[in-house]
Amino acid sequence: MNCFDFGDFTQSPELENRYWVDDSPLSRAFGSVLPPKLADLVDLAMAVYYADRRSQRQRNSFELTGHREIRVRLPVRELELWKSKEITSSLVDLLAWFTEDTWEFEFSKLNTKRKSEYEESLFSSPVAEHNVSLLFSGGLDSLAGLCTLMDVDRDCSFVLVSGCTSQRMGQVQRDLIRELVRYWRDQSRELRSLVVPFGIRRPMGSFREESSQRSRGFVFLLFGAAAAMMAKSKSLYVCENGVGAANLPFNEGQLGIDNTRGVHPLSLARMSDFIGLILGKPLPIVNPFEFSTKTEMCQVLKKLGLGALIKMTVSCDSFPLRIPDSPAQCGICTSCLLRRCSLHAAGLDGDDSGADYRFDVKKSFVRINKRDLYPLMAMLDQVDRIHACLTQESSWAMLTETFPELFEIQHGLSAHRHMAMNDIAQSYLRMYRAYVGEWGVFPLNVS
């Protein structure tokens, strides 16, 4: 079992080999101190992130196979709340869902505070009453989703929150927001951005880090929930295309541990329930695009004439590539490939230059190492299997037999939101038909 005791660190923030987090933007953005419950959520997020990164999985060939047992001792401010069996059980189940590991928690009393909890602001800075809190990553989906929401409701103000482990990614987010403010400058609504930087202290040679990072979605959703409560938002929005959110395995050999569940429909539902237990009131976490393809999301950028912002967004799983004289995005990971396919299908080719990628899969006769082509081959294999299901008379039955994950989503959404089972099935069938069609028009020139 991997054991982590954060007792010493919380009282001595300068100790090495632990995490760091600056949650002052959560308080500073609203001119108010961070309440104890929300400060506990931030500490929980960071403790889980640190334990996840420090606990190595066993690997077999290219696949992750290692189930882990992780025990965390964490001081908290609201000790009686966290000692509740209902909350502890909910937390353990939630993390088992996100990471597919076994977690144990022991909570103790924390008597110290960070600046965000006691440093009063000279001026109150309340956000507009009609507001939406939204996770903003700086990716293509978050840009397109935000633009759609701003276009639909032109009186709404937005609180954009993100967690950031990379200064370069933080700059991407700030640059995009600056351009959006400029575009909507003649309107009275507000775009309020807050970035929570965090990371792990890494004394040289001290430890290897686990690369799967299954807890990242957990961390970002907790940051988003804290921001939403500070903004007095009625819900937290997450903008992710439905194909990426469901994140079906690309091939039959792919293990569940390989597939992240950061914005999975059931992750949002389960996290919403957990946050409700902590806060004592509901906070719906909503993905308005859970039945939309990435192409469909991106069409708003063409409609609003914002295609030029596409090159400012980041999709690459390996961003930033640290290869001299190379673009920052690889072009051959699954995220880059979905981005390029979707922008082509949306008619936004002119705003998606091949020069922005290390490998341009649309360029004639580009040669790519066979190993590097694995993501593309896996995606095409998945598209073929989806297409085969959709051509059958009982399309949904075939699709859920081939991808039982969809059956789990259907039942989970029906139970959590009281949606009709058939409505969910028809929404996914429509989305996957569109998705297969988008790949059908994507020009590939690789060998």
Per-residue b or e along 312-324, where b marks 16 or more CB atoms closer than 10 Å to that residue's CB: ebbbbeebeeeee
Residue 396, token pair as written in the block? 């949904």
Rounded Cα distance, 15 and 8, in Å: 8
Q: Is the dihedral of CA 356, 360, 361, 364 positive or negative?
A: positive
pLDDT of residue 207: 62
pLDDT of residue 257: 44
pLDDT of residue 225: 97
Amino acid identity of residue 78, one-letter, is E
| 303 closest CA partner among 243, 353, 346 | 346
Between helix 334-345 and helix 374-390 the angle, nearest 10°, is 60
Rounded Cα distance, 109 and 203, in Å: 28
pLDDT of residue 72: 96
The residue ranges of every structural domain in the chain are 2-112, 131-202+214-286, 319-440
Between helix 395-402 and helix 421-440 the angle, nearest 10°, is 80
Superfamily name with CATH number, domain 131-202+214-286: HUPs (3.40.50.620)
Per-residue pLDDT tens for 182-203? Answer: 888 877 788 999 999 998 887 6
pLDDT of residue 365: 57
DSSP structure class, residue 118: H
- Asked whether the bond before 320 is cis by omega within 30 degrees of 0, the reply is yes
Rounded Cα distance, 298 and 310, in Å: 9
What beta strand segments (E) does 117-190 contain?
131-135, 157-164
- pTM across the whole model: 0.92
333 in helix, strand or coil? coil
pLDDT of residue 255: 44
Mean pLDDT by 10 residues, the chain (447 residues): 77 58 91 94 96 83 70 96 97 96 96 85 75 94 97 92 86 90 82 91 67 88 96 96 96 59 96 97 97 99 97 87 75 95 97 92 75 90 97 97 97 95 98 98 82
- Cβ-based neighbour number of residue 105 at 10 Å: 20
What element of type H or E holds 14?
none
Integer angstrom CA distances of residue 129 from 150, 169, 238, 291, 403? 16, 30, 20, 29, 42
pLDDT of residue 416: 94
